[in-house]
């Protein structure tokens, strides 16, 4: 058995067989890939949100196209985005735009060195911060914005379309990635989080069993389907919304899965030719990078909770698969469960892009 090199490991025989098709710049994408996912959902009759016009289609993998695009990671709630950001900053040495650099009191762009990586002094998780980043020239060439070049942009769950609409242009498109977690697990994690905060009226102090038995729809039920399809509160959630959400995933997202974290992170790296940086002068170790990249080992890293020593750990309410509570929640978020099944299919099919 060949020893692993960090979390990337070694290319499989199958990947080596495809080496002649892989971009010489380091991208791991197989350039002659014909997306089988095209057959999964007919595009006819489904219109994507206009805010995605300047986001690249997954099937567009030409080297010249990739070189002009900005990687963009959407942080789905409890999807491991925070730990992915740590990995990208510490282990890959990427210059990131997120909510970590803040504005540093300056009205010009600067890359701020922190103990968790290099962050540009903007906040791409808020509307105000997004417009400030645009005004300061985040997407402009480094020779016009003070020499600051962004390697990847992150944003929060509720401002995805605001970022794609405000920041990206036909000449500087975004290439979108996201990590997804199984919906019931995600909902239970969300419930436990808000249940410990008194400001969430109607949930704080509620048992998970009573929550599952509650009447009516809630904003968080089928949240992913609703958000991606631009569902409005006075709409009746329907198959149309589910199909729009599926089409957004199929056309625009390089998909990662929390329970396939190592593979997901490898695909993100391979797409853009990112390499691990030298950690010899860092306070962090290769072992930490391996942990962040593969939480499915005996890792101390919890992708849902970046603070594993949280005092609320013992208060977490659990849901057992097959229980009455599980089945009630499953019924309430049936659209998101169908969408997640589709996401898993897309994840498997996108594997063909990498050999």
Residue 147 has pLDDT above 90, yes or no: no
pLDDT at 23: 43
CA 336 to chain centre: 16
Q: Model confidence over 157-214: pLDDT tens digits?
A: 999 999 999 999 988 899 999 999 999 999 999 999 888 777 666 676 788 999 999 8
Structure tokens belonging to residue 69: 């695009």
How would residue 353 be classed by pLDDT, with cut points 50, 70 and 90?
A: confident
- Which pLDDT score, from 0 to 100, does residue 101 have? 79
222-276: pLDDT as tens digits: 999 999 999 998 889 999 999 999 999 999 999 999 999 889 999 999 999 898 8
What pLDDT sits at residue 354? 78
* Confidence bin at 316 (pLDDT 50/70/90): confident
pLDDT for the residue 65 = 56
CA distances from 332 to 39, 114, 223, 233, 237 (A): 29, 42, 11, 16, 12
What pLDDT does residue 294 have? 61
Angle value at C-alpha 46, between 40 and 51, nearest 5 degrees = 110
CA distances for 290 relative to 27, 117, 294, angstroms: 21, 17, 6
What is the share, in percent, of the chain residues with pLDDT greater than 70? Answer: 74
Mean pLDDT for the chain overall:
79
Q: How high is the pLDDT of residue 21?
A: 37
- The end-to-end CA distance of the chain, in Å, is 20
Q: Write down the number of H helices and E strands in the chain.
A: 13, 7
Q: Is the pLDDT of residue 30 over 60?
A: no
pTM for the model stands at: 0.82
pLDDT for position 104: 62
Residue 301 pLDDT > 70, yes or no? no
Q: Are 151 and 230 in contact (CB under 8 A)?
A: no
State the Cα–Cα distance between residues 187 and 270, nearest whole angstrom.
Answer: 31
Cα–Cα distance, 18 to 354 (Å, whole number): 8
DSSP letter assigned to residue 276? P
Give residue-wise pLDDT tens across range 59-88.
Answer: 887 655 556 789 999 999 988 899 899 899
pLDDT above 60 for 127 = yes
Give, for 224, the enclosing helix (H) or strand (E): helix 223-228
pLDDT of residue 281: 66
pLDDT at 39 over 90: no
Query: What length is written for the chain?
Result: 355
Contact 209, 94 (CB under 8 A): no
């Amino acid at each position: 058995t060949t020893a692993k090199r960090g979390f990337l490991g070694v290319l499989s025989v199958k990947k080596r067989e495809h080496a002649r098709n892989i971009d010489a710049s380091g991208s791991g994408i197989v350039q002659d890939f014909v997306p089988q996912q095209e057959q999964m959902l007919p595009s006819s009759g489904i219109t994507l949100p206009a805010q995605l016009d300047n986001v690249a289609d997954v099937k567009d993998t030409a080297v010249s196209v990739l070189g002009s695009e900005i990687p963009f990671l959407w942080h789905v709630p409890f999807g491991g985005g925070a730990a992915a950001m740590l990995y990208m900053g510490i282990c890959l040495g990427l210059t990131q735009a997120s909510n970590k650099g803040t504005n540093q009191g300056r009205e010009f762009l600067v890359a701020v060195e922190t103990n968790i990586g290099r962050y540009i002094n903007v906040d791409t998780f808020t509307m105000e911060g997004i417009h400030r980043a645009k005004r300061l020239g985040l997407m402009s060439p480094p020779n016009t914005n003070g020499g600051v070049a962004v390697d990847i942009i992150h944003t929060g769950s509720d401002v995805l379309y605001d970022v794609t609409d405000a920041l990206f242009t036909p000449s500087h498109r975004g290439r979108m990635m996201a990590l997804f977690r199984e919906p019931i697990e995600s909902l239970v994690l969300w419930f436990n989080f808000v249940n410990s905060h008194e400001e969430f009226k109607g949930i704080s102090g509620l048992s998970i069993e009573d929550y599952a038995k509650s009447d009516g729809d809630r904003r968080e039920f089928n949240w992913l389907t609703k958000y991606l399809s631009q569902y409005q509160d006075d709409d009746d959630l329907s198959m149309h919304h589910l199909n729009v959400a599926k089409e957004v995933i199929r056309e625009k997202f390089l998909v990662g899965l929390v329970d396939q974290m190592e593979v997901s992170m490898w695909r993100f790296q391979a797409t853009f030719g990112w390499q691990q940086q030298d950690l010899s002068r860092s306070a962090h170790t290769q072992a930490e990078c391996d942990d962040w990249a593969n939480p499915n080992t005996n890792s101390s890293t919890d992708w849902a909770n970046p603070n594993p020593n949280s005092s609320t750990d013992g208060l977490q309410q659990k849901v057992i698969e097959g229980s009455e509570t599980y089945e009630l929640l499953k019924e309430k978020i049936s659209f998101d469960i169908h969408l997640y099944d589709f996401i898993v299919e897309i994840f498997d099919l996108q594997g063909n892009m990498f050999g």
